[in-house]
Amino acid sequence: MTENNRSSAAGRNAAIESEERIRRIKAKSGKPVIGYLCCFAPPEIISAAGAIPYRIMGRPGEDNSAADAYVEPYGCTYVRNILARAVRGELDFLDGLVISHSCDMVQRLYGIWTYYHPLPYSYMFNVPHQVSPWAQDFFKRELGFFQESLEKFTGHDIDPDSLKDTLTAYNLNRSLVRELYALRKENPPLVKGSEILDLLIDGGTLPPEDFTALLREKLAEAKLRSRLGGKGPRIMVWGSVMDDPALLLIIEEAGGRVVADDTCIGFRVWEKDVPLTDDLYTGLTEHYFINFQCPRTDRGPGVGRFDYLLQRAREYNIDGVVGYCISFCDPHKFDYPDLRDYLRKEGLPLLLVDDNYSFEPAGSLKTRLQAFMEMI
Amino acid sequence: MSQSEMSRAKRHLETTRKMKEMLPRFFMRQMERRFSGSEPLAWCMVGVPPELLKAFDLLFEWPENFGTMCASRLVAPRFIEVAEGDGYSQELCSYVTNTMGYCKLTKEGGEPPEESPLPGGMGTPSMMLGSGFICEPRWKWFQSIATRFFDVPVYSSDPLAPPWDIDPRDPRIEEHYLSLLREDLAGQIAFMEKHTGRKLDLDLLRETLALSHEALGYWRDTLALRKAVPCPMGSTDYFHSIIPQMYLVGDREAVDFYREMYEEVKDRVDRGVGIVEEEKYRLIWFGLPPWFNMGIFNYLESLGAVVAYESTYNVGDYFEVDLSDPLEALVRRTWQRAVKMHDYGSETMPELCNPAVFGGFSGSSLLDELVGEYSLNGALMHLTRSCRAVSFGEVHTKNRLAGLGVPSLIFESDMADPRLWSDAQIKTRLHAFLETMDKAAGGGKIND
Ligand code: SF4
Ligand code: SF4
């Protein structure tokens, strides 16, 4: 068994556990579970409507052939992997599905999935590609339509107070996650990147209160730690969605310290609180649309669109960036050359890892990463 | 890939052959203006209404179409390789990577590379007008060019449409989308006014729309004539005759072109003239064509196969719109097309509200109609590796067609990158597919 197989196996066990757990929670609470992909449709609204939001995860490296009867072989392997899982019936605990119009692949998955495997509830949350004032208005209206559709499904009306309570509960988790991230500003960091990602994966699949408890436990334990091993190059990971710690583990094995990231499920989701504005939709629009840093949203030409990353790199005292692109991931692959050049000018090297959502072959990945660590 | 594997297309219609004189005339006119002063020039994407460009009397280029020209002259690989050297993955849209390589060589050499297909290449842009209506790459394309090569302002329009399971006739939904379309168009116009220094001439826009609708009406009627057996017009004519829609729509010249084309095709129908001697197979084509090897359609014809309908670039239904308010007319045209597609049940491409590309959406009741009306008995699906946007849905469409008893072949290559073309292998597969169609017609079973 290669080391990476070991890493993926750890990720896989956690994923299996999270699915068993959600079945238990669902049975106990009697609430419907609504799966979602991407971060534009707020899970808070799902929660406030009396359902349990569940971030759907793939199983990297697993056979995707079950998807072949419905979609072409060319396309994001992460999305194909999730469709294969749905086809195999592995996601049968879902009562509903919410897909946001993020990238092409995810958006089109919606049609195929709901056509062949309809669920009791499904909604495609439409999202403009720019943050112009009229696009913001559209997003706000879309929030309203989304809320209505959920209320209709669950029979549970959402009043502003209960939505505010839910947002507060989620914001608490955001601040705890940020506290955890801050422990990595130390050198060497007090928490490993792979540990945090494991936790965040749990966070996507747990009701917020349960996640709060987990986070508190981890924080208390981590704060008591003395230094974690020796110093090593401080790495930020940027790129496609990451719902398995395999790559982070390989970086760590190669001597790197993953101290920051810009990925989905990672910091993109937890970086800021949802502002509790008088009209809650205004805050939600700000958080989930205007400020949400996904390269699928057009922020105009120029490298200014990467400034937030540079700022983060400075804040976490980064030595180098590892870019992670899943095959056929247009939004990230298009940004790579511009980002690489921008970071290079700032003295930050960027190593690109192209992956077909398997993190294999782990051996050569590790060798490349080792060479990169030595170089920086 | 060796270049000898690629073949140029033979066109069947006089009208489309005549384009070879008509388009250079257009390009020369543009060139003269380009060199006569410092007129603004926009790089545009399909989805930007050509009528608007015309109403601003704005010089323009279509990098997408430039990509098809580079592909057909086999210079695209050179440009694409330059982009790959810059870090652009081979998986990315080859129209985009073609432009990225072209821009890089232009910047480095101080002038467009000499192998550029257009005389003098594309003019240097002073602004870019994008449209994100089909795919993600179109959002990144102009952003990257303006970041790396030409520091010019960009406006991309964003015509969203309702997902397939949302009722577009619900007045609240209609307003939700229409208000976005209206404001988006207003934003586009404000941008154009600012960067051209010209005011939009509404009367000219109205006139242009009237002319463009007249031309598109002839085009729609021409396509309908292809229901005839034998089919009077094939794919080589079809794919080439979309070009005037980008360059000349809104001109009298375009109306004349499409009228003549209609008359020529009508005459062929009246006389029972097909494009192959013995029409054995009537096919529907999905996806973008391999622009570097359009002769593949002639190869099919040599086997008795004719393509009677193409899913891509099909402008679809023609809509009467009230031109008294030409801006509202533009909005309504987009919306009506979206609703129409919605009515067909566009399961896989909910956003596709501009019917220029049907690919991938056709897993809908439209297929049933097409198969019957065009007497189709087989489907060819070009799975373009670097354009997933248009090929997405082919497997789904194949499933739907199988339900109608129509066999399909999905084969893989690319629209602009000939390195992904394997001539012998693809021809063998096409040939074998037609043979299985024979067997099926004789009561055999089709398993492709
Ligand atoms: S990895 Fe890329 S292509 Fe895949 S779902 Fe995410 S953004 Fe889309
Ligand atoms: S639709 Fe396809 S060919 Fe056109 S820009 Fe998008 S990816 Fe490229």
Give per-residue pLDDT as tens, A52-100: 999 999 999 999 999 999 999 999 999 999 999 999 999 999 999 999 9
Q: What is the pLDDT of residues B109-162, one digit of tens each?
A: 999 999 999 878 999 999 999 998 788 899 999 999 999 999 999 999 998 888
The reply to whether ligand 2 has any atom less than 6 angstroms from the CB of B71 is: no
Region B369-387: mean pLDDT is 94
Pocket of ligand 1 (CB under 6 A): A 76, 78-79, 103, 105-106, 240-241, 326, 329, 331-332
The token pair at B212 is: 């463009």
d(CA A269, CA A292): 8
Evaluate whether B16 touches B240 at the Cβ level (below 8 Å). Answer: yes
DSSP tag of B249: T
Please report, as a single letter, which amino acid is at residue B165: D
pLDDT band at B368 (very low <50, low <70, confident <90, very high): confident
Q: Look at B140 and A138 and tell me if their CB atoms are within 8 Å.
A: no
* Cis, bond preceding B350 (omega within 30 deg of 0): no
Of B141, B147, B43, B158, nearest to B93 by C-alpha is B141
Q: Are strands B154-157 and A350-355 parallel, antiparallel or unpaired?
A: unpaired
B424: buried, middle or exposed (CB in 10 Å: 19+, 13-18, 0-12)? Answer: exposed
Q: What is the pLDDT of residues B318-366, one digit of tens each?
A: 667 899 999 999 999 888 888 887 887 766 555 554 444 454 454 567 8
Rounded average pLDDT per 10-residue block, chain A, 376 residues: 47 80 95 95 98 96 95 94 96 97 90 92 96 98 98 97 97 97 92 94 92 96 80 96 95 96 93 96 98 95 96 97 97 98 98 95 95 96
- CA triple B381-B382-B387, angle to 5 deg: 130
Domain ranges across chain B: 3-161
Please report, as a single letter, which amino acid is at residue A28: K
d(CA A257, CA B222): 64
Q: Look at A330 and B140 and tell me if their CB atoms are within 8 Å.
A: yes
Of A11, A39, A2, nearest to A197 by C-alpha is A11
**φ, ψ dihedrals at B186, nearest 5°:** -60, -40
Q: What is the pLDDT of residues B43-85, one digit of tens each?
A: 999 889 999 999 999 999 999 999 999 999 999 999 999 999 9
Contacts of B192 (CB under 8 A, 6+ apart): B42, B52, B56, B58, B127, B129, B155, B198, B200
The token pair at B206 is: 């109205």
CATH for the stretch B3-161: 3.40.50
The token pair at A204 is: 């996507």
| Axis crossing angle, helix A246-253 with helix A193-204, rounded to the nearest 10 | 170
The token pair at A210 is: 């349960």
Q: What is the CA radius of gyration of chain B?
A: 21
Q: How many CB atoms lie within 10 A of CB B369?
A: 11
Torsion of CA B47, A292, A56, A240, to 10 degrees: 70
Q: What confidence score (pLDDT) does residue B318 get?
A: 64
Q: What confidence score (pLDDT) does residue A25 get?
A: 95
What is the 3 state secondary structure string of A336-352? HHHHHHHHHHCCCCEEE
The answer, yes or no, to whether residue B229 has pLDDT greater than 60, is: yes
Q: Quick one: closest CA in A to B346, which residue?
A: A111
Nearest CA to ligand 1 atom 2: A329
Of A58, A63, A69, A56, nearest to A115 by C-alpha is A69
Q: What confidence score (pLDDT) does residue A221 get?
A: 94
Domain ranges across chain A: 3-161
| Axis crossing angle, helix A3-29 with helix A193-204, rounded to the nearest 10 | 30
d(CA B438, CA B423): 23
The token pair at B330 is: 């533009």
d(CA A58, CA B253): 54
Exposure on the CB side of residue A221, measured as CA atoms within 13 A: 10
How many residues does the structure list for chain A?
376
Atom number in ligand 2 closest to CA B134: 1
Hey, which bits of A167-312 come out as E strands?
234-239, 257-262
Q: Look at B395 and A68 and tell me if their CB atoms are within 8 Å.
A: yes
DSSP tag of B290: -
CATH for the stretch A3-161: 3.40.50.11890
Query: Alpha carbon A74 to chain centroid distance?
Result: 22
Nearest CA to ligand 2 atom 2: B387
The 3-state DSSP class for residue A55 equals strand
- Does the reported pTM lie above 0.90? yes
The answer, yes or no, to whether residue B37 has pLDDT greater than 80, is: no
Exposure on the CB side of residue B366, measured as CA atoms within 13 A: 24
Ligand 2, pocket-test mutation among B387, B391, B415, most atoms within 8 A of CB: B387
**φ, ψ dihedrals at B421, nearest 5°:** -105, 130
DSSP letter for each residue of A78-104:
HHHHHHHHHHTTTTTT-SEEEEES-SH
Atom number in ligand 2 closest to CA B96: 8
Q: Which parts of B234-357 fold into alpha helices (H)?
A: 235-240, 243-247, 252-271, 295-302, 326-344
Q: Are strands B281-286 and B378-384 parallel, antiparallel or unpaired?
A: parallel
A139, A298, A369, B258 from A127: Cα distances, Å: 6, 12, 36, 38
- Bridge partners (DSSP) of residue B378 are B283
Q: What confidence score (pLDDT) does residue B351 get?
A: 54
- Bridge partners (DSSP) of residue A97 are A35, A122
The token pair at B361 is: 């959406």
pLDDT band at B315 (very low <50, low <70, confident <90, very high): low
A21, A157, B62 from B56: Cα distances, Å: 61, 50, 16
d(CA A226, CA A237): 25
Min distance B395 CA to chain A CA atoms (Å): 5
DSSP tag of A152: H
The token pair at A286 is: 């700000």
Q: Look at B396 and A300 and tell me if their CB atoms are within 8 Å.
A: no
Exposure on the CB side of residue A319, measured as CA atoms within 13 A: 16
Hey, which bits of B245-377 come out as E strands?
281-286, 305-310
Question: What's the gap in Å between A94 CA and the centre of ligand 1?
Answer: 22
